[in-house]
Homo-oligomer: A and B are copies of this chain.
Amino acid sequence: MAGSQYGTIFRISTWGESHGKALGVVIDGCPAGLPLKEQDFEDYMGRRRPNAGKFSTKRNEPDQVQILSGTFEGRTTGTPISLIIWNQDQRSHDYADLADKYRPGHADFGFDAKYGFRDYRGGGRSSGRETVGRVAAGALASKILKELGISFDTRATAIGGHPFKEAEPYLDQCRAEGDSCGSEVNCLIHGVPAGIGDPVFDKLDARLGQAIFSIGAVKSLDIGDGSLVSQAKGSENNDAFGLKNGRIAPLTNHAGGILGGISTGADIRLHVYFKPTPSISLRQDTVTKDGKETKISIHGRHDPVIGPRAAVVVESMAAITILDAMMINMTARLSSIKDFYR
C-alpha cells in the first residue's frame, strides 16, 4: 500500500486531490448497528471549514459528506462505509503558473523525485484539503467513542507563540506582511479506560505518534509533559498511584495518560506543534523543475496559520487511533473470548 490507509481493525482508506472531482474515505471495519446519517458529519466538517473570521482561507465550500454505502435503514451494517465530498470550488487557474516551480516548504520537489511528475493544482494529494477524508472518518470514530464514554477537548492554544486569544494583532501583521506563522494545538482525551494500547511497536503513544505526524505541517508532538520530562527528575516525573473514587489511578498526570504504551485511565494529553503555512506571498528563492534558479510568490486563498482549522484533524486522527486500539484490545484475554462465545 502506498500510504493512504490507516488502522488495523477500524481501517480507513482516503483518496482525492485538492482540485480533483471529489475526495473521500472508505471505512472498513466499522461495527454494525451504529445510527448514522449525513448530518452526523456536519459538526466535524464545520470545525474544519474556513469560517468568516480572520484566521482562515477565503475558500469556502460546504463540504457536505454523502454516504454512498454501508448503512441500511439509518444504521451501519458492518460493511464498508464509503463517504464522498465533492469539490465544488476548483480554481485551478490560480495554480497554473506554479507548475514548474518548486514551492518552498511544500512537497512538490519530493513528489517529482518520487513519482516523476505531479498534480500541481493546489498541492494535489498533499494539499491540506486531503484531510476532509480523515475528518469524515474521525466524526464517525468520535461518535462511537462517545457511546463508550470518551470525549475530546481539542483547541488551538497558541499562534506564533502568542496565546490563542491574544494573537489577533500578531496575525494581522503576518497577513499584512504577506507572511504566515506557526501554531499549537492541544488535545485532551477523557474517558479512555486503562489497558488500551499494545506493548512494543503498537504502543498507544506510538500509534498516536504515527497518526499525528501524518498530518501535514506537524513538526513536533508532546505526550503528557512532553519535552519537559528531559529536564525533570524521576521523583518529580513519576505519577504516584492511589485511589480515586475507589479505583486505582495515577494521582498526577505527567505521563499524559499512557505508561509503557498502555493507557492508565487518566486523561490522554497531546500537544501538537504546527509549522507556518508554507504558502506565502512574500518573494522566495527557489528553482524550476529543470534546475534554474528563480523567484516565487504564492498568491491564492491560504490560511496564514494552520492550527485553528487543524485542531479537528488532530482530534479525528486521535479518535480513529483510540477506537482501533479499543477494538483490538477486546481480544487480549482468553476469558473475554470465552465469554463472547459462550
Contact = CB atoms under 8 A, between A and B. Distances in A.
Nearest to A277: B234
Given A13-B28, A291-B248, A214 B200 contact: yes
Interface in A176-226: 177, 179-184, 193-203, 205-214, 216, 218-226
Contact of A209 (B68, B210, B241): B210
Nearest to A282: B235
A234 B105 contact: yes
Interface stretch (A43-51, A56-64, A77-85): A77-85
Contacts of A291: 243, 246-248
Contacts of A332: 2, 31-32, 78, 114-115
Contacts of A24: 26, 68, 82
B5 A15 contact: no
Interface string A88-104: 00000000000000101
A319 to B, nearest CB: 14
A115 B30 CA distance: 11
17 contacts: A1-B8, A2-B328, A4-B26, A4-B200, A5-B13, A13-B28, A23-B69, A72-B118, A106-B260, A110-B264, A147-B338, A158-B230, A201-B211, A220-B222, A230-B275, A243-B287, A243-B293
A194 to B, nearest CB: 4
A21 interface: yes
Contacts of A234: 105, 174, 179-181, 276-280, 282, 304
Contacts of A340: 330, 336
Contacts of A158: 230
Contact of A202 (B1, B102, B236): B1
Interface residues of A, number: 169
Best-surrounded residue of A218, A230, A275 (most CB of chain B within 10 A): A230
Given A3-B197, A5-B5, A113-B265, 14 more contacts: A16-B69, A17-B72, A21-B69, A31-B334, A78-B114, A106-B259, A114-B195, A203-B213, A216-B261, A221-B221, A227-B273, A232-B275, A243-B291, A327-B331
A39 interface: no
B193 A341 contact: yes
Given A80-B15, A259-B107, A332-B32, A229 B219 contact: yes
Nearest to A289: B248
A318 B273 CA distance: 21
Nearest to A31: B334
B114 A183 contact: no
Contacts of A201: 3-6, 14, 210-211, 214
